[in-house]
């Protein structure tokens, strides 16, 4: 979104009046990307250009950003290290680089990761409180998936999910046995099921199916709590910028779902 220069400077809180803003611009004390701008109506994208007053970079007040991405296959949910970059890996964070400020980009985190081959709903945010409200184990926010398996599923698989399934997890380099919390599995067709879990151990859904002898050939996250991918009509690889209202509606809906 473009702002006029005088609007941007007023929003920074650095100046006490509109008159002071105008005089700073007219006197040549304000630069945009290193160039002096004396036009108070000059328009620019504040997420892509740096503004300075007397050499001091000015920023708009911090606003939390939250995005809902329909993650495609073959993209990782972490910052790339040099080895991954050399292998040509792609990071979900690069999707957002052109749409946020450098400071916002550095603060972005994914709210619970999806592995490289998993697709679907992924939240990426600068909001640490939101991360806590969703990802903390004690919150038990429900995550819903559509799972496609190589072999047909049966009613016994649903019963095992409801009981909790023993899986192997790597903890500090050691392999430990872990019993998952009860989960829900609803068979849609012989090889496709809807799964709901309230925890998020690494590759948990795939490990649960593997423990029952099933190979997962496709895994898509459909929803986190009250946020449903289908409601936003986002194509694979695209994202929407969630408003504070969207985020709060999601949190309140999820909390309401958990009330007795």
Domain that holds residue 229: 66-258
Same-domain pairing of 170 and 210: yes
- So what's the pLDDT on residue 254? 54
43 touches 3 (CB < 8 A): yes
Same-domain pairing of 109 and 18: no
Q: Which of 18, 35, 58 is the last residue of a domain?
A: 58
In tens, the pLDDT along 221-236 reads: 999 988 899 999 999 9
Same-domain pairing of 33 and 144: no
**Bridge partners, residue 147, by sequence:** 193, 219
Specify the DSSP class assigned to residue 206: H
Same-domain pairing of 15 and 72: no
In tens, the pLDDT along 145-162 reads: 999 999 999 889 999 999
The helix/strand/coil state of 26 is helix
Ordered per-residue pLDDT tens for the chain, 260 residues = 678 999 899 878 788 788 899 999 999 999 999 999 999 999 998 878 899 999 988 887 667 889 999 999 999 998 888 888 888 899 999 999 988 877 788 889 998 889 999 999 999 998 888 888 888 888 889 999 999 999 999 889 999 999 999 998 887 778 889 999 999 999 999 999 999 999 989 899 999 999 999 999 999 999 998 889 999 999 999 999 988 777 776 665 555 555 55
Same-domain pairing of 134 and 218: yes
Question: CATH code at 53?
Answer: 3.10.290.10
Same-domain pairing of 89 and 133: yes
The Cα–Cα gap between 227 and 232 comes to 9
The Cα–Cα gap between 118 and 218 comes to 7
Q: Which of 10, 32, 58 is the last residue of a domain?
A: 58
Same-domain pairing of 96 and 181: yes
Tell me the average pLDDT of the chain: 89
Catalytic residue from among 39, 50, 115, 246: 115
Same-domain pairing of 38 and 143: no
Known catalytic residue at 246: no
For residue 22, count CB atoms less than 10 angstroms from its CB and return exposed for 0-12, middle for 13-18, buried for 19 or more.
Answer: middle
Within 13 A of 18's CA, how many CA atoms are on the CB side?
5
Same-domain pairing of 79 and 188: yes
Specify the DSSP class assigned to residue 85: H
Please give the tally of structural domains in the chain: 2
The Cα–Cα gap between 231 and 212 comes to 32
């Amino acid at each position: 979104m473009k702002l006029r220069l005088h609007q941007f400077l007023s929003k920074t809180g650095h100046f006490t009046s509109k008159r002071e803003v105008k005089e700073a611009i007219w006197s040549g004390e304000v630069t945009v990307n290193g160039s002096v701008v004396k036009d108070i109506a000059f328009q620019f994208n504040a997420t892509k250009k740096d503004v300075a007053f007397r050499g001091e970079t000015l920023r708009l007040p911090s606003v939390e950003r939250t995005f809902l991405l329909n993650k495609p296959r073959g993209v990782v949910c972490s910052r790339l290290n040099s080895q991954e970059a050399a292998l040509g890996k792609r990071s979900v964070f690069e999707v957002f680089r052109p749409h946020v400020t450098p400071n916002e980009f550095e603060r972005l985190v994914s709210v619970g990761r999806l592995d490289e081959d998993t697709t679907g709903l992924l939240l990426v945010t600068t909001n640490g409180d939101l991360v806590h409200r969703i990802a903390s184990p004690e919150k038990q926010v429900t995550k819903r998936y559509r799972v496609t398996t190589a072999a047909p599923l049966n009613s016994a698989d649903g019963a095992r999910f409801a009981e909790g399934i023993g899986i192997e997890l790597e903890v500090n380099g050691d392999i430990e046995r872990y019993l998952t919390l009860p989960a829900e599995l609803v068979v849609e067709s012989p090889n496709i099921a809807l799964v709901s879990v309230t925890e998020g151990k690494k590759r948990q859904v795939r490990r649960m199916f593997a423990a029952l002898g099933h190979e997962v050939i496709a895994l898509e996250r459909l929803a986190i709590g009250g946020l449903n991918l289908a409601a936003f009509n986002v194509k694979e690889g695209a994202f929407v910028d969630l408003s504070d209202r969207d985020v709060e509606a999601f949190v309140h809906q999820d909390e309401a779902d958990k009330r007795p």
